[in-house]
Amino acid sequence: MQRLKDSAERWTAVESHQPARRGTTITIMAVAVVSLVASRFLVSKLGVELYAFTLVGVLAAALFATASFRNLMVPFVVWVVAVGGFRFLWSVRSPVLPDLYLDRMMMIWLGVIFMIKYVAERRALRGPFVLDLLLLAHGLYIYIRVYIQDSQFVQPWFMSVAIPYIAYFFAKNVVVGERNIRALWWSLFALVVYYSFTAIVEKYRIDSLVFPRSILAAKELEFRGRSIGPFEHPGVFGTAFATLIPLHLYLIATARSQFVRIVVGLCLLAALAGLYFTYTRGSWLAGVVGLAVAVQLNWRRFVPIVAPAAIAAAILAVAVLGLRNDEFMKERVENDDTLGSRVGTAVTVLRVWRDHPLFGVGFFQFRAVREDYVQPVEAPLLGTIRFSQFRHNPIHDIYLGPLAEDGLIGALMQFGIYFLILKKAYAVYRSRGPDDHFGQLVLPVCVGAFAAYLVGGLAFDYRYFSFNGALFYMIAGMLAGYQRTETSHVSS
């Protein structure tokens, strides 16, 4: 009797759910019919090929949106990669509004998702905020001067000031914890692999493999014989290499298999070759200094990586690249005209600052006034530098240039930013323990990247491009957001 009673109760429960199941079935059928009709209509209007691309795009956008809401690292990494040379993949042109390239669209998307998640989840921004406020003050100071003097330079301000500072903010609040740091390092490693491949195929004129194709046209115009990458400038390309080379040490030291170590080691050699093919002395020096600083901060773990890599690089340079017979390299190294023109430009910049000490002449205003200050320069060892060598030169550094254009006020804020970043790095270094993953393995990469950027800035002005500044301040943001309580153990 009890079994019959239980069976009757189960049957009654099943019957009670039948209307709901029927309603669900009807809904699914209605959606299927509507989708079929809409698809047929769109195919008739767009054509099969365009409809298929649209359908794939909508699906990809939906998946990307879902992943973005689940993990902010997804849109952040896509944005970083877009700024790092892939902004040309997708763009929306408008005759009225500014053109939207992939990097700008990803930045807007990341900002929207960031605000939604932080409001919905009631998150707090990560402190301390002294560096954040200084960055905000410096950015506003330059923007106000641009707005007052010449608003046509808002675009260079956005690329060289706003984007790097935005990268700092997002990195500080998003790249938190060992897992996210590793995700960022591997994403940047993928960029380095692309850079290395591009530099090598540029060098050996395998034009069919060069991407994007605009690189070939830019090489013919000004930089024949040198690898210029997606930035279409060998100095910026070389400094990007120099800044990113130290991350190979982290990836090799933390790799879980010998195969991964070998692959990353080979990619390190390719990156060194790519850096060499830029034929840029400032970038070479920046790469050597950045790698040396990273090794110095974790001698025990990184020397066993760098020592065999240095031997292999020497053999590669002589036996494969033909370093001893590279006439173009000798021409670049022995060329004193470039050094002389840089010295002449630096002296001219100081003359401009002498007449505008407090506020400078204004952002990007050096070109407008340099003709009034260009004179021959007498330099030790270089002799007389004729003004014809440098009269059309733009600013070529990140130290004296801001002093002339932004004045003592702007320069002090900029140097204060560098000071606070290095102060945070020193504090982490002093307090790290033997098992501190961040202090032992992440910090050396960060400081090595800082050193490469700051040394490269002696010879190049990064304001015409976004990535070098964004890379520096992104790593600075990751360091600024680090808290001692989040320390994990070093992998054995």
Report the pLDDT value the prediction gives residue 324, as an integer from 0 to 100. Answer: 64
The domain tally of the chain equals 3
- The residues pairing with 272 across neighbouring beta strands, listed in sequence order, are none
Report the pLDDT value the prediction gives residue 440, as an integer from 0 to 100. Answer: 94
Would the pLDDT of 293 be above 60?
yes
Residues 330 and 249 in one domain: yes
Instruction: Pick the more confident residue, 465 or 34.
Output: 465
Final residue of a structural domain among 93, 124, 155: 124
Cα-based distances in Å from 139 to 106, 151, 181: 21, 15, 27
Structure pTM? Answer: 0.86
Q: Is residue 248 part of a domain?
A: yes
Instruction: Pick the more confident residue, 384 or 223.
Output: 223
- The residues pairing with 378 across neighbouring beta strands, listed in sequence order, are 384
Report the pLDDT value the prediction gives residue 213, as an integer from 0 to 100. Answer: 86
Final residue of a structural domain among 107, 124, 141: 124
Residues 292 and 218 in one domain: yes
Q: pLDDT tens across 95-121, in order?
A: 555 667 788 889 999 999 999 998 888
293/328 Cα distance (integer angstroms) = 29
Would the pLDDT of 195 be above 90?
yes
Residues 282 and 223 in one domain: yes
Q: pLDDT tens across 240-260, in order?
A: 999 999 999 999 999 999 999
Closest CA to 399 of 471, 475, 465, 463: 463
415/393 Cα distance (integer angstroms) = 24
Residues 248 and 276 in one domain: yes
Residues 62 and 78 in one domain: no
Work out the average pLDDT over 321-345: 70
Residues 204 and 116 in one domain: no
Q: For tokens 């929306």, name the residue.
A: 92
Residues 207 and 278 in one domain: yes
Report the pLDDT value the prediction gives residue 53, as an integer from 0 to 100. Answer: 63
pLDDT band for 399, please (50, 70, 90 cuts). Answer: very high
Q: Classify 391 as helix, strand or coil.
A: coil
Q: Is residue 153 part of a domain?
A: no
Residues 323 and 451 in one domain: yes
Would the pLDDT of 16 be above 50?
no
Number of other CB atoms surrounding residue 285 within 10 Å: 17
Residue 404: both structure tokens together: 């002339």
Residues 188 and 329 in one domain: yes
Would the pLDDT of 14 be above 60?
no
Residues 61 and 117 in one domain: no
Closest CA to 423 of 415, 411, 435: 415
Work out the average pLDDT over 432-451: 94
CA angle 12, 13, 15 (to 5 degrees): 65
Mean pLDDT taken over the chain: 84
Q: For tokens 């298999």, name the residue.
A: 257
Would the pLDDT of 292 be above 70?
yes
Report the pLDDT value the prediction gives residue 394, as an integer from 0 to 100. Answer: 79
234 in Cβ contact with 228 (< 8 Å): yes
Q: Which domain holds residue 83?
A: 72-124
Residues 92 and 199 in one domain: no
Q: Where are the alpha helices (DSSP H) in 358-399?
A: 366-369
Q: Longest Cα pair distance anywhere in the chain, in angstroms? A: 114
Would the pLDDT of 445 be above 70?
yes
368/404 Cα distance (integer angstroms) = 12
CA angle 160, 111, 443 (to 5 degrees): 65
Residues 283 and 227 in one domain: yes
Q: pLDDT tens across 347-396, in order?
A: 888 889 999 999 999 998 888 888 888 877 777 766 667 656 666 777 88
DSSP count for the chain of H helices, then E strands = 21, 4
Q: Is residue 396 part of a domain?
A: no
The contacts of residue 411 (CB under 8 Å, 6+ apart) are 399, 402, 403
473/167 Cα distance (integer angstroms) = 6
Would the pLDDT of 337 be above 70?
no
